[in-house]
Every structure is written in structure tokens, then in C-alpha cells.
Amino acid sequence: MASFSPNQLRQCTRFTGTPCTPDKEQQLRDQIHSELSKIKYCANPTYECSLMRIDGYEYCIRHILRDPRANYRQCTHMFANGRKCINAVPKYDNKKEQILTTLCFEHNRQTQLQKTHLTVGRIRSRVETNETLLNSLSSHINVEDIKPEAPKPEPDEDEIDVVSPHVTPFVSEDYRNNIGHIVENSRKRRRILDYASDSSSNDEDPPCLKNTAQDIEFYESDYESIDSEDDDPLKHAGVYTRAEAVRIAESKLIKLQGLYREQITQLQYVLKQRRRKYLHDIRGERDIYCSIHDQLKETPRERKLYEQLKALNSYHRRQGVEAVLYKKQKEKRARDTLFATKSSSNPKCVFTEGGVKCGERTLPCCKHCRKHILEDKRQVLFRACGVERSGVVCQEPVASILEDSSCVLHLTVAPAKRQYIQKIL
């Protein structure tokens, strides 16, 4: 997908050779907006991921392992805390493509750097001379014991020094002249090593947050759910046996139990902290803001303000006969409200016969009581008893649960069976 940067809007004359008109700028902007609208983001179900999808898949490179059809696998790097790297690596055939690796880009780069440090340290120069050997041993020079040499008188031009005690057959004249430079470099090197050591000499990974803290890379929202399958070795299996299904369910329940315990512990800690802060604030407020009636009014201005406060508190306060009448009015209004509430909560039956209204309580969601429920033609929960005795059909309401059910007066009771006990003579 082609992309444009904002600089291209200003540099369009560099490519076309013509001045950039507002129409061309608007055309480029429309093209950029159309391409941005076509971008599809990751379909991660746990949270909204802002990374772009991989071509042909619905997930980004971070969550591609959720797709069982994806041609990716998990990085094989192991951290110091026993966890595996969560990055994805493309799958490949070990026999056909032996150059590729099962590590992600970052851990592959660290591995290559370690190999480079190990191999480069063993490389030596092909030509070894006295100067190179002495230069390699310059790190062992005791810099503190070397003292600057005093200036020596120059010899006369007439005198010829055949054997000079300062010239050795193993060190060249140029190297002897540069010995002060080597000493100065050694001192600087010692001073630097006093503060820190070279990190390239360590074979292990440099200490960082992800490989020293316990499970720090799993504190994301992906790993706070019991349905996370990143640690499940059978996440790409289509069919499970009964034992595997039971084991997976058991592991999810154990993980859910642990998450609940951690959440309860955290909530208890937060509750303790907030209660401690609340008690501390209440005590400080009591110490600072005591009752205004107990405070001393030393100045006339404070006494005047206190009188104004008492006057404001008693403002519009009823006194005498007015207070008694207002209290009686409130009690009467409370009684009327309570009676209206009680009457509305217990509706009465609406059946009326001979001008007399039934006063029984209605059934739930009905307008009739149990005795007159058959007057409601739309109900289907009750029916008449229907037992005929002496030419009279019983009309007592009965719940239509059983077909042969009847009222209490016409209930048929099975006769008791006689039991004969044989006496043993």
C-alpha cells in the first residue's frame, strides 16, 4: 500500500517540476484519507488493538497466535523466570530452510550479538611484531608507579653515542616516543572501569524489566482472562478427549480462583488504605474544626458574627402556637399519606351483587378475588368444580392443574384397604 507523508505535499514540485497547486494538494489529501480508511485493524476480542492486520489474516503480528489457521508459531526464547516469549515467528521447514530461526527478531538479534562478541574476542592479528605484542600488554602497565622523567641535558654534537642505554633492540624508536600516550590512555581506561564495566563481556541478557520481574510481561489484559490460550499446548487442537477437556476446564477454574483471590486481596488493601485515610481526615477535622459554640469569642467582631449565625439558624423557625399547629398539620398529612399508601397496596375485588361490593383482596394481577375469579372471562387458571349432586352443578372455583380435580366439598377419597393379620396359634 502506497503511503504519503506530509512533506510530500510541500515537495511535490521536486518530482513534477511544476508548482504545487491547491487542487493537487487536495487530491493528495483525498488519496491519503482514502488509503487510511481502507486500513483494517486487529480483531482482538479482549481489547481494542490499534495495530494493522497481517495480509490474509484478521489479527496483527502481536495477536496472530490466536488464529489457529495462521502459519505462525511462538518464539522459543525462555526468560529467566521460566516464561516463554509471546512474540510470533513464521513457521518453516527445518530441512528445506536451515538458515531461518525459531526466535523473534529481538531475541535473534541478541543471540547474534552474543556470538559476535564471542568470536571477535578470539580474532588475532596475523602479523605479530614486537610493537603489537607490547601494545596488547599495555593494559597491564602499573600506571601509578610510572613517574614523569626529568629532562636530560642534550649531548654535544661533537660527542657520538655508540651504545645508547635508552634504545632496546625489541622496541622501535617510534613506539618508545609514544609510551606517554599509552600511559595516558591506560589511566583514562582505569578511570572509566571504576564506574562501570563493559556490558559486552556478559554472556547473559542485559538485566531489564521483562526478564527480571516475575511475570511482568503477562500483566496485560490478554492474560487476565481464564480464556487465554497462550500457555495452552493444545490451543490448535480441533478435537479434545474427555481427559483433556476435564484438564483444561480444571486449569481454567484454578486460574479463575487465583484471579478472584488476587482481586479480593487487592480490594481489601484498597479498603484498608481508604479507611485509614478517612479516619485520619476525620480526626484532623475534629481537631481543627471544633464546635462553634465551644469556641472563645474574644473580639467584639467574633461575638457579633456569632449572634448573626444564631439569628440565621432561628430564621423562619416557628414558635408558640404556630409551631404547635404546624406539627399537627404534619402528623395529619402523614396519616393521610400512610392510609392512601395502604389502600393502594391492597386492591379490593370489583365484583358487585345487589348493590353490595365485595371487599375481599384480589388475586395478583387480577381484578377479582378467588371466590369471584370465574367472572373474569379471560383468565385460564381457574375453572368450575363441575360435580353434579342432586341436579345441582357445583360452581366453586378450582385451579385447573389436574383434569379430575374438584373442590374440597366434593373431593373423593380412596377407601382404606382392609388388612387381615393371621394369628399364630
pLDDT for 25-34, tens place per residue? Answer: 888 888 887 7
Higher local confidence (pLDDT), 127 or 36: 36
Model confidence band, residue 208 (pLDDT cutoffs 50, 70, 90): low
pLDDT at 147: 54
- The whole-chain average pLDDT of the chain stands at 74
Higher local confidence (pLDDT), 97 or 269: 269
Model confidence band, residue 126 (pLDDT cutoffs 50, 70, 90): low
Model confidence band, residue 182 (pLDDT cutoffs 50, 70, 90): low
> What average pLDDT does this structure show over 303-323?
88
Model confidence band, residue 250 (pLDDT cutoffs 50, 70, 90): very high
> What average pLDDT does this structure show over 11-25?
64
| pTM, full prediction | 0.26
Which range of 63-77, 136-150, 202-216 scores highest in mean pLDDT? It is 63-77
pLDDT at 40: 78
pLDDT at 345: 67
Higher local confidence (pLDDT), 174 or 120: 120
Choice among 52-56, 192-196, 266-270 with the minimum mean pLDDT: 192-196
> What average pLDDT does this structure show over 39-68?
84
pLDDT greater than 60 at residue 351: yes
pLDDT at 214: 47
pLDDT greater than 80 at residue 65: yes
For 147-173, the pLDDT digits (tens) are 555 555 555 555 545 444 444 444 444
> What average pLDDT does this structure show over 101-111?
86
For 253-309, the pLDDT digits (tens) are 999 999 999 999 999 999 999 999 999 988 887 777 777 777 778 899 989 998 998
> What average pLDDT does this structure show over 387-399?
88
pLDDT at 221: 47
SS3 of the chain: the string is CCCCCHHHHHCHHHHHCCCCCHHHHHHHHHHHHHHHHCCCECCCCCCCCCCECCCCCCCCCCCHHHCCCCCEEECCCECCCCCECCCEEECCCCCCCCCCCCCCHHHHHHHHHHHHHHHHCCCCCCCCCHHHHHHHCHHHCCHHHCCCCCCCCCCCCCCCCCCCCCCCCCCCHHHHHCHHHHHHHHHHHHHHHHHCCCHHHCCCCCCCHHHHCCCHHHCCHHHCCCCCCCCCCCCCCCCCCHHHHHHHHHHHHHHHHHHHHHHHHHHHHHHHHHHHHHHHHHHHHHHHCCCCCCCCCCCHHHHHHHHHHHHHHCCCCCCCHHHHHHHHHHHHHHHHHHHHHHHHHCCECCCEECCEECCCECCCCCCCCCCCHHHCCCCCCEEECCCEECCEECCCEEECCCCCCCCCCCCCCCCCCCCCCCCCC
CB atoms closer than 10 angstroms to residue 163: 5
pLDDT greater than 60 at residue 187: yes
pLDDT at 390: 84
pLDDT greater than 80 at residue 77: yes
Higher local confidence (pLDDT), 237 or 354: 354
Model confidence band, residue 325 (pLDDT cutoffs 50, 70, 90): very high
pLDDT at 166: 46
pLDDT greater than 60 at residue 246: yes
Which range of 343-347, 384-388, 418-422 scores highest in mean pLDDT? It is 384-388
Q: What percent of the chain has pLDDT over 90?
A: 15
